[in-house]
Structure 1
C-alpha cells in the first residue's frame, strides 16, 4: 500500500494531480516492476501518463517511439511545462537541424533527459542506433501501437521493424499503448513486438459523454456544416476530410463565411502546420479542418464537436478521431456525413494494390458502411466491434436511440441465414450468404453450385439491406461470429447452433436509408431532377416566368434555368446579381442574359410577403473554386479530344461530361464540334439536336426513350445536349 501512496505522492509532485484515472496506477507499477505492458485505453483516458511518470522515477532515459512530429512536439512541450528543466524531454526527427540534434544528444548524455521521443524512421538510422547503444535505457514505449498492424486504421510499415531494432540497441522492458484495437489488431501488435506474455490492461471503450450521429451527405453539405458551426459559436471543433484537396477547399469556404478556421494536412510546410496546430490549441482558431494527420496525441480537452466530412476508411479510425471530442468529460458531438459513393470511391482507389491488402481494406470499409447505415444503437455497434458487450438497449446518446425505431420480427430470416451459413460449411462472407438467399446467380454462387441449394432464392422478396441487417444484428446478439483472419467468413457460435434447434422471436430494426442525393441534383446528369423548394408559391411564379421567356426566345425552358436552379432561388431568395451567381447552375453569363427579370420577380415576392431572407446561411463560395473547370475549358479551346482530357485529369468520360455539363448549364459557351465530328455520324448529331429543340425536358432517359436506346448511346445524347445548350442557351 505504501508503494501505491508513494506513487500518488509522485503524481502530485510531478503533475499536480491528486488521483490516478482508471488503470493508470496499476500500469505504472507494472512498468516500474520491469514487466512488459500492453495498454489499451480510449482516447482521453490518460495513456501518456503511463510512461511519463515511470520515466521520471526510473534510472536512465525512456525511448518513446511515436509516429507523428506534431504529436512529439505537443508531448515534449507538455512535459517541459511540468518541469523546471527544458532538457527533461526531447525529440529526434527530420524537423531538427544538425545543430539542434547535437544539443539534444548533449542533454541526453549529461543525464538531464528522462524522455526521448523518436520517429520510427529516425530509429532505423545507423547513427541514431549507435548513439542509443551508449545510453542506459529505462524502457521503450511504443505509442499509437496500432500502426504496427495492417488490420489497424493507420498501418505504418516502419513500425514492424521496431522489435529487431530494439534487440540491436539493447533489451529493456517494453510498454505498447493504443486507443483503438480490435482483438485481431491487439494480437498482431503483441506478436510483432515479441510481447505475447505482457500484462494486458484493457479499459472500457465506452465514452459515455460522446453523442454519435450519421447524417446524409447531400449537395448542401458545406451549408449544413456552416449552419452547424454557427450553432456552436465559441466552441472548438475538428472537421476531418480524407483528402488534402478537400481540406484546403473546405477551410477556404468556411473562412469566407466568417468562421475562424485553419487547415492541417501532411502536404503543408511543417512550420505552417505546426503553427496552425498551436493556434488551435491556444484558441486563436475555433475550427481545424484536417486529414487524419491531425490529432494523434493532441491533448486539447475541450473539443466540443468532431465532424467527419467523409466517412473514414475504418471504424478504428473513426473511433479514434471522434475520441478527440470531450476529453474533459464534457459534451462531445460526433457527426459524420455519409454517402455510399464516397466508400465506393475508396474501393476504386484500392484497385491495383495486392489482393490481400484489397481484401483487408474492403472488410474495413464494409464495417464502416454497416455502422453508417445501421439503425442499431451506435454505441452498441462500436463497442461490439472492439470486442466489448454493451448491455443497455438504449444509450440515449446517439441519433438511432434518440428517434423511435420500428422493430419487425426476424425469426424466420435469422433461421434462414444460420441454416445457409452451415449449408456452405462456414466458408463464405455475408455478401455471398445474401446472394444465395436473394437468388442472385453471381459467378461465385454458380461456380460453387450454390444455386442448387434448398435455400437458394428462399428470401428473394426481401430487400438485400434487410438481410445484411439481420446478419449484423445476429452478430451483436452472439449467434454469428466473423473470422476476420480469413477475410470475414461467417461462423455459427454455440448460441447460433442452439438457436437453430430452438428458434425464438428475434426483433430486428431496419437499416437507415441514405439516398444518393447527388444523383438527383447533379446538373445535367442522367437523372437531373431537383430538391424541393422552400417556397412553393415563388417556385411556381418562377416556372411561369421561365415558360413565358421560353416562348418569347423560342428555346426550351431548361435552356434558361434548370428546375434545381429555380428551386434554389425559391429557397434562398437572391435579389442581387452576385447572389444570383451563387445559385447552383447559374454562372455569370447566364445571370447576365436572363437574371434581371428573375431578380425583379423575387424582389417583389420578398417585399410583398415580408420575407426574412436566409442570407446569413448563404454559403459564400471561393472565386474560381474549381481550377478543374478552367483547365477543361482551356483544353477544349485547344481542341484536345475529350477522352484525352478525361485521361489527363484522371476522370472517367462520364465524370468529364458531368463537369462540362455543369459548365454549360452555368452559362459558359464552349464548342465541342471538333470532337463530335470525329466520333459521331452527322445525321445522329442533327437528329438528337432536333429532339432537344422541341423537348419539354432535358432528361437523358426521356431522350433515349424517344430516340430509341438501340440506335443511340447515353454518351452520344449527352454530347449533343452539351452542343445544344451551348449554342442555343449561351
Structure 2
C-alpha cells in the first residue's frame, strides 16, 4: 500500500489531495509490476480505511458532464432544432442508400448532391460507367413500365423465366401472344431487361417467390398504362380518357388527405380509383356499385368525386372530334412515348433507332394527329430558338439550320416545320 500511495503522490502531486482525479490503472500496474486484481484489492483497502476515495471503473459506457448539470426548472430544449437535425441526418443517410443503388454515373450523383447540375455527365471511371452495357434512365424507366404492365395483365404474377421470351417475342407459347407487351422489347437484350428488373426488385415494386415474379401494390401504383391497350382508335382514346380522369381523382383524393390528415390510400385505394375512372359512375348509387367503395369513403370524397366525373364527362362530350384519322399500328409505341413526355433523343435511345428515323415517324404521326403535343420532344431553349426563327422568317430548312445553333439537328427542324404547316392548314 505504501508503494501505491507514494506513486500516486509522485505522479499526480498535490492535486490528488484536493479533488477527484482520473488515474491510469494500466500505467500504475506497469510501474509497480502488480496484477490488476492486486491493484484493485489495494485501492479498495485504502478506500475502506479512509486514506483515499476510490470509484471503481464501470464495465459499461458512461457519460461525463463537462459543465454543471442544469436544474430541470431552467432546462430549455429546442424541439424544432432537434427535429430539424434529425430530418437532416435522415436525408443524408437516405442519400447514401441512393448512391449505393444508383445505376447512373456515381460521380455525377455526387456532383448533383452538392448542387452542380451537369446533365448527361459520365466520369468514365466508376463501376456504372465502366459497365459494358450502360443504359439511359429513360430506357430503364420504359422497360420497368413494360415489365409492370406485363405482370398486371397476367393477374400480377409470371414465371421469371417466361418474362424475357414474352417481351422479346421469342416465346412459342400460344398464351404469350395474348400479352399486349409481346415482342415490344425485341430490340433489347436479356441484360437490358434484367437491369430494369433488378431495379424494380431493389425498389420493392416486385418480388420473387418460388420462381414466380409478383407485382405488389407499390409497383401497381406507379403503372402509367394500367388499362389494356388495343389497336383501335376508340380504345386508345378510352385509355387516355381513363388515365386523365384517374389523375384528376387522385388530385381530389390528395386534397381530402390533407383535409382529414389521413394517408391518401386510406381515403380511397388506387385499385378503387382505377375502377371508378374506368366505369365513370355519375350518381351516388352507381358509385356505391364500385367494389370496395364504402359509406365512409363517400362521406369524405363521394360528392367531390361525382362532381369531377360529371365535369369530365361534360368536357369529353364537348371535345369529341368526328372522322379523325386512325393511326398506323406500327407508330403506337412512338405515340405512347411522345404522350409520356420523352425527349426526341430518349425515344431514339429507347427504341434503339437513329434520331433521323424516329423524326420521320413523328412527322407521320403529326400528319395523322395534327393536335398532338410535341413540345416536350425538345429542350426548352431549343424549342424557343426554333419557334423564334419560324415565326419571324420564311427560310427553308437549310437556311434555318445555318441560322440556328449547331446542336439543333435537321430532325428537330423538320418536326417543327411539319407541325407549323399542319397547324396553319387546320
Q: State TM-score, norm by structure 2.
A: 0.30
> Which structure is higher in helix share?
2
> Which structure is higher in strand share?
1
Q: State TM-score, norm by structure 1.
A: 0.20
